[in-house]
Amino acid sequence: MKHKPRILIADDEEGIRESLNLILDGEYELIFAVDGEEALSKINQDLFNLVLLDIKMPKLDGLEVLRRLREAKLRTPVLVLTAYQSVELAKEAIKLGARDYLPKPFERDQILKAVKGALLN
């Protein structure tokens, strides 16, 4: 039986988690985190093929999560999702090791394509 790729979705907004669940459910095994601390804890405890990470989260924001992943030399690919439209933020996220930067609101096909691309690499 083929194992489905495991994707961690870290976002404090229930609406976003449910939206991504709608888009990705079936093809992938989805695990959720509601803040940066929970996301980091889960990444440290378990293996994931991909992380979808929001920037603005309580306790620990997305950029800090990226920073700590880089320090720990964890190579889990990360796609950053955010409602902030900031070139500086995008550059910072990529500099910290994110594979890609996706704006909100997102297109279903855009998410599917980005996830497939990140998993292939």
Partner 1 sequence: MDLNFFRFITLFSSLTLFPLAIFIFIRNRSSSIHRSFAAFVLLCATWVFGFFLTMFSQVPYSFALWSSRLSQLFGFLTPIAFLNFVVTLIGFKKEAKVHHIHWIMSSVVPPIMLSSFGVSAVPKKLFFPYYPEAGLLYIVLLVPFVFTYGSAFKLLYQEARNSNYEPSQRQSYATILIAVLLAWVSVATLFLPIYNVYVTPQLYFFPLIGIATIYVILRYQFLDIRIILRRSLVYSTLVAGITLINLMAILVMERWFEGIFGYRSVLASLMVAVLIAISFTPLRDWLQRQVDRSLFSATPAELAAQKEQLLAHIRQGEQLKAVGTLAAGLAHEIKNPLASIKTFTEYLDTKYTDPEFREKFKRIVGGEVERMNLIVQQLLEFAKPSPPKLVAVEVPRLLDDTLELLNNDLLQRKVRVIRSYAPTPPVLGDSQQLKQVFLNLLLNSLQAMNGSGQLTLKTDIRGSELEITIQDNGHGIPAEDLPHIFGPFFSTKPTGTGLGLAVVQGIVKEHGGRIQITSEFSKGTTVSVMLPKCS
- Choosing from 19, 30, 40, 61, the residue that interacts with partner 1 (CB under 8 A) is 19
Those residues whose C-beta lies under 8 Å from the C-beta of residue 7, and which sit 6 or more positions away, are 24, 28, 29, 30, 31, 48, 49, 50, 51, 52, 115
Stretch that binds partner 1, among 2-10, 18-26, 45-53, 91-99 (CB under 8 A): 18-26
Q: x/- string (CB under 8 A) for partner 1, residues 33-72?
A: -xx--------------------x-x--------------
**d(Cα 2, Cα 19) in Å, to the nearest integer?**
25
Which C-beta is closer to partner 1: that of 71 or that of 105? 105
CA 58 to chain centre: 15
